[in-house]
Structure 1
Amino acid sequence: MIKFIFKFLIILFLLTVIILGVGGYLVYKNLNSPLEVNGHRQLIDVPNGSNLTKVGELIDKATNSDASSVIIRIYAKYKELQNAPIKVHPGAYELNDGQTLIQILEKMDKGDRYYSSLVLIEGWSLKQIKQAFASKDDLKQSISNLTDEEILKNFGAPSEIKSLEGLIHPNTYKYTPGNLDIDILRVAYKKGNEIMDKEWANRAPDLPLKSPYEALILASIIEKETGQKSDRSKIAGVFINRLNHNMLLQTDPTVIYGMGDKYQGKIRKIDLMTDTPWNTYIRKGLPPTPIASPGLESIRAALHPERHDYLYFVSKGDGTSAFAKTLSEHNANVNKYILKKN
């Protein structure tokens, strides 16, 4: 009897070892086998408070499988026994063909989430920025239904600021799919404020600019007027000189901005004579708002302009500008670079 029990226990032990070995192999194989993802690529959204069972269900749904949940639970127990439990960080994660369960779980354990990107270009108008937001299908849209004043109030902007133009800092912004567009816009607005406050505090002395907002307006003009980066601070110096001399700025980009949708690619003489708040051929001083979102270099140029005696500049047609101290010199440059080419 004892001999029989001993043999039975040996057989039971061997069967247990075999079952565990086969089971372990199957778990290992499933953890390290490439997955076939529906449509070759899926984004899964892991909500706050999710456990590994929920993660397994999401992966099963994305791969038309029913084994991930079981495999993940077994693997999770194994990691707990090693005192290295898997953490589940909420957020969006990208699943692609060829990824393994191990790779996906490692991403979630590290919080290596998937982020979409929104690129806002230096010199873009607010209209272009809003179009960029609207083009993102993975953002929840809301700003198209709000006025500038409503958005600015939401952001806690000073009541005297009525337009968002120029206040949205151009940069690349990452976000989780499903985010609200206004939340990304708020980040870009705050970034712009932080930059302006910092740069204004370090501005050059004796500038004819009364506030960071006026500096932003000038920076937006510099942004639109600059073709060659090396000309930026020199162009800024021209505008500063003209402001100091109480001269009209006479800058085409402000006229174009004031024309709005009427601009068809060319400024006519009648356009220069048509009054708008942004027509700097008619109205002295800075326009009432920025005309675009300037980059950091244009902001710095506005606040640290090159010191010189130039009052005029004209494009040479190659991205650079020709500068002049007198009207006669300027007219000669216009004749050389503009009239003779037409």
Structure 2
Amino acid sequence: MKIVIIDDTPLNLTLMQALVGKLSDCEPVPFVDPLAGLAWCQANEPDLVVVDYMMPGLDGVEFISRFRATPGRDDVPILMVTADHERQTRYDALQAGATDFLNKPVDRNEFQPRVHNMLALRRAHLATRARARSLEAEIAEATAQIHEREQETVTRLARAAEFRDPETGAHILRMAHYSALISRQQGLDGEFTDRLLHAAPMHDVGKLGIPDHILMKPGRLTPDEFDQMKRHPLIGHDILKGSTSPVIQMAAVIALTHHEKFDGSGYPHGTAGDAIPLEGRIVAVADVFDALTSARPYKPAWSLDDAAALLREGRDRHFDARCVDALFARWTEVLDIRQRFQDAHATPL
């Protein structure tokens, strides 16, 4: 235990050093200059500070005030050395953060028990701090496990929809990463972006409720079949709504709104402009871009130039122009995502 002793009288300093030296597992750190002692205490964390009141340049009360103002020094015990008659000084020292007092002249029979008591207090503080850190680590681990289980549920939901859809698993990975890229480019916070990355794959979970003869049809849908297909955002929202999970909550919003169009001509509700939730506007761009540039049983893949042209033409009509521009602003990363998550070997998020 490091015990800092600050006293401008060399005789007192020598005496207290000797008394500390007789205590087991204790190391005295003496200073005649209070400013030097304060600098050491600000750079290092002592286990106990013994400080005199009457010192040139910096008295004991001011020393305590500055010491307590240093981050992480609020639970270090401080013994102030004062004369018995200096009552107002003691009051001021208590206000500044002194823990206890030693009377002048320093008496060995008083010094050692008080130091012993202060070190017991310090050990209790350190044990409490260690326990708090341990609990924090346990909570972080438990939270991570909950998050991992939640992500497994999310992935399984997305895969369930994927098994009934001609789109590939790589599609949901690419569009999720495109969505996160658009979010970052717009300066949205990391928590929103991370949530979006994990919620976006569930955008089409409502296709679980669409009959196979419509979902798997290789040709163009009839008007009636398309009307049934347009129910999948509502079905997806019904599957996902009501969750306490922030990721599933966002996924419910995305499922409901990713087919809305900026000019209000989309479905299921014909919502327009900024009334469409931002996550829905982002996923609309990411989903359409990847769908266009991916081969399907019923269509070949579009070229990047043709897909880019369609997105640009759809600015402020089909798509939020800000989301389109954000995608193109990170075009190199778009190409990297396409390369990383190819249909033949999709990997988890």
Name the structure where helix makes up a greater proportion of residues.
2
State the structure with more CA Rg.
2
TM over 0.5: no
TM-score (norm: length of structure 2): 0.25
TM-score (norm: length of structure 1): 0.25
Q: Using CA pairs under 8 Å that are at least 6 residues apart, name the structure with larger relative contact order, 1 or 2.
A: 1
